């Protein structure tokens, strides 16, 4: 179980990030974003920090910044499944509605795997957490999701996510599987907003070698195993401040044959979400997330699904 101090840490980090976001906005001065964007058209924060849905980056640029403006957002999220829970927090800066810089840290409580994995790698300590830092950059290449909403032209962006995993005492497991602790994802996303129909559609192609997003390292058997995998998102605006939608993200399967077929395979990620933005400066997202089997042999082949919640402030 978490200690009281551990439970408070994510909240403290979220407060710090909110304060940093406010200070950054003030420092940017008169060029900072006021209320330039329509509600929810900048997406929310993904678990990797980039603007988009909960699990997939979109072509939109985060924050409230439009042309000629700078903006910043901060977010905190929590996911709870049958055997795992993960807390993330992050920052994103939008520049001129053209360029986005982001940062996120993920903290996965991996203590549920201790009993099984420690019998193979005895150096693992109980209560271990896996952490990953994600630094992102995104550039809008063409189109404007809002201004081009009456045409077939989508907004298209390219992005990069540099990831560094801190496996703690689980480093022996990653070493045995031949996985690295650092990797880079490259993606291209196209977001089409049909404003008259209140529908948003996004398609993303990601080149990655990450295992479970990177929390279980990158590649396998000491080899680079880059794959190009698709991700899709659909959202429908019930009203201007409320959207519902779904996402599907294909996951690489680098560990499929590392031990024995099926023992460490990865399932695709999917979610059903509701996003509410009572103001342009605050949004709250709740989702049902299905991650499939995560390290199947270590969790009796349970499927991992549960509730995801995320709060974001944006300026």
CB 61 within 8 A of CB 72: no
More confident residue, 58 or 146: 58
Reported pTM: 0.87
* Percent residues over pLDDT 90 in the chain: 54
Domain locations in the chain as residue ranges: 4-314
Q: How far apart are CA 96 and CA 243, in angstroms?
A: 25
What does the mean pLDDT of the chain come to? 84
Q: For residue 169, count CB atoms less than 10 angstroms from its CB and return exposed for 0-12, middle for 13-18, buried for 19 or more.
A: middle
Under CATH, which architecture does the 4-314 domain have? Beta Barrel (2.40)
| Residue 33 pLDDT > 80 | no
More confident residue, 53 or 303: 53
> In the Cβ-directed half-sphere of 112, how many Cα atoms lie within 13 Å?
19
CA-CA distances (angstroms) from residue 241 to 141, 173, 312?
Answer: 28, 45, 14
Give residue 222's pLDDT band: very low, low, confident or very high (50, 70, 90).
confident
* DSSP states of 232-275: EEEEEEEETTEEEEEEEE----TTTTTSSTTTT--PPEEEEEEE
Pair of tokens at residue 108:
């996965």
Q: What is the mean pLDDT of residues 211-233?
A: 90
Per-residue model confidence (pLDDT) at position 66:
87
Element (H, E) at 15: helix 4-28
Q: For residue 192, count CB atoms less than 10 angstroms from its CB and return exposed for 0-12, middle for 13-18, buried for 19 or more.
A: buried
| Residue 300 pLDDT > 70 | no
Closest CA to 241 of 280, 291, 267: 280
Per-residue model confidence (pLDDT) at position 3:
38
Per-residue model confidence (pLDDT) at position 29:
43
Per-residue model confidence (pLDDT) at position 282:
92
Q: What is the mean pLDDT of residues 46-51?
A: 96
CA-CA distances (angstroms) from residue 212 to 74, 158, 272?
Answer: 24, 22, 19
Per-residue model confidence (pLDDT) at position 270:
96
3 state DSSP class of 68: coil
CB 225 within 8 A of CB 253: no
| Residue 148 pLDDT > 60 | yes
């Amino acid at each position: 179980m978490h200690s009281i101090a551990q439970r408070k840490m994510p909240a403290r980090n979220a407060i710090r990030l909110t304060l940093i976001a406010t200070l950054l906005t003030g420092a940017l001065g008169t060029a900072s974003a006021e209320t330039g964007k329509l509600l929810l058209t900048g997406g929310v924060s993904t678990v990797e920090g980039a603007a988009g849905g909960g699990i997939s980056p979109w072509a939109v640029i985060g924050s409230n910044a439009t042309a000629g403006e700078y903006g910043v957002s901060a977010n905190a999220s929590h996911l709870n499944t049958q055997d795992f829970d993960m807390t993330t927090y992050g920052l994103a800066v939008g520049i001129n509605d053209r360029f986005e810089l982001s940062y996120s840290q993920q903290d996965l409580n991996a203590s549920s795997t201790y009993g099984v994995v420690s019998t193979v790698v005895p150096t693992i300590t109980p209560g271990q957490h896996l952490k990953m830092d994600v630094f992102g950059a995104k550039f809008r290449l063409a189109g404007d999701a809002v201004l081009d909403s009456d045409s077939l032209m989508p907004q298209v962006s390219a992005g990069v996510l540099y990831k560094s995993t801190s496996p703690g005492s689980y480093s022996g497991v990653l070493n045995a599987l031949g996985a690295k602790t650092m990797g880079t994802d490259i993606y291209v996303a196209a977001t089409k907003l049909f404003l008259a129909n209140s529908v948003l559609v996004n398609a993303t192609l990601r080149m990655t070698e990450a295992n479970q997003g990177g929390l279980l390292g990158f590649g396998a058997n000491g080899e680079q195993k880059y794959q190009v995998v698709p991700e899709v998102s659909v959202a429908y605006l019930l009203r201007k401040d409320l959207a519902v939608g779904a996402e599907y993200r294909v996951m690489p399967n680098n560990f499929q044959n590392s031990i024995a077929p099926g023992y460490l395979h990865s399932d695709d990620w999917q979610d059903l979400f509701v996003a509410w933005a009572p103001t342009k400066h605050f949004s709250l997202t709740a989702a049902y997330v299905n991650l499939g089997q995560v390290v199947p042999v270590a969790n009796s082949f349970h499927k991992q699904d549960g509730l995801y919640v995320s709060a974001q402030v944006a300026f």
